[in-house]
């Protein structure tokens, strides 16, 4: 049985599609990026895009648990980006 989507449902589907397309573009840049800085920026974009996808899905499903997961992933992604940038700048993370 096929259910018709409401306007909110269509906006959610379109937003998830756009975010997924952005995710694939960032994945491409991680593998093809000419410099390490491009790859670090793309890895950060992947983390941020996954957080956005989780937030959109959590909002559409009215799930507080997924919002908590998205916030935790955002914090971990930020710390990881800082560590990678420090490694490229100094040669070590310590």
> pLDDT digit string (tens) for 29-47?
999 989 988 999 999 999 9
**Within a domain: 75:** yes
Domain that holds residue 56: 7-90
Indicate whether 23 belongs to any domain.
yes
Pair of tokens at residue 55: 């937030």
Ranges in the chain, pLDDT < 70? 1-2
90 close to 67: Cβ distance less than 8 angstroms: no
Q: What does DSSP assign to residue 33?
A: -
- The confidence score (pLDDT) of residue 2 equals 59
Within a domain: 71: yes
How many distinct structural domains can be found in the chain? 1
d(CA 46, CA 94): 25
Interacting residues of 86 by C-beta distance below 8 A, sequence separation 6+: 92, 93
- Residue 2 placed within a domain: no
Helices within the chain (DSSP H only): 7-32, 36-61, 64-90
Residue 84 within a domain: yes
Rounded Cα distance between 9 and 17, Å, is 12
Residue at 65 is within a domain: yes
Q: Is residue 1 part of a domain?
A: no
**Can you give the pLDDT at residue 5?**
76
């Amino acid at each position: 049985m096929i259910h018709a989507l409401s306007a909110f449902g269509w906006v959610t589907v379109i937003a998830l599609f756009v975010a997924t397309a952005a995710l694939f573009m960032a994945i491409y840049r991680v593998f093809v990026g000419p410099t390490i800085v491009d790859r670090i920026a793309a890895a950060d974009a992947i983390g941020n895009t996954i957080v956005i996808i989780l937030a959109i899905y959590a909002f559409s499903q009215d799930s507080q648990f997924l919002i908590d997961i998205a916030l935790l992933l955002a914090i971990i992604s930020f710390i990881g980006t800082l560590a990678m940038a420090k490694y490229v700048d100094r040669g070590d993370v310590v």
